[in-house]
Amino acid sequence: MKLVTVLGASILLGFAAEAMSQCAPPNQLLSGDEIRTLLSGKRVSAIAPSSETWNEDHCPVAGATPGNLYKVGDGTPVDPRALRGSWRVLGTNNQNDSSVEYTYTGSPNLVYAWQMRKTTGQSTTYYFCNGGALVATLTGNTSSIGSCP
């Protein structure tokens, strides 16, 4: 019984360490300009450690001016594209103080600000991070969106 408990705890700690390592060096923090280039005018798909998926259209932004944020639906009356709030880049172009802020409209509004990190090497993976904790991983490439009211 003790062996099963120790093995289970070791596996859980391994998963937690992996999720935390994605939000720590050597993965690089993104600057404000890098975040803006990655997300502005793009459709972003991401997955959280809980397996929750995000599919959002980030309307273009300039500086710290907020842009509209849309939930991506499948285009049917049952699941249309819908305005969910806004997003903007916070901080200077310094990598250590830049983050992306999301404001989801509702009652009450929900506001989240996360740093972004990226791997380096043959392939690049991007992460949304809350300090050292992984919030979500971008899946695939971002793609340009069409019209954005």
Cβ burial 111-141 (10 Å sphere, 16+ → b, else e): eeebbbbbeeeeeeebbbbeeeebbbbbeee
12-39 confidence digits (pLDDT tens): 333 344 445 899 988 999 999 999 999 9
Please tell me the pTM assigned to this model.
Answer: 0.80
72-90 confidence digits (pLDDT tens): 987 788 989 899 999 999 9
* Predicted local distance difference test score (pLDDT) of residue 20: 53
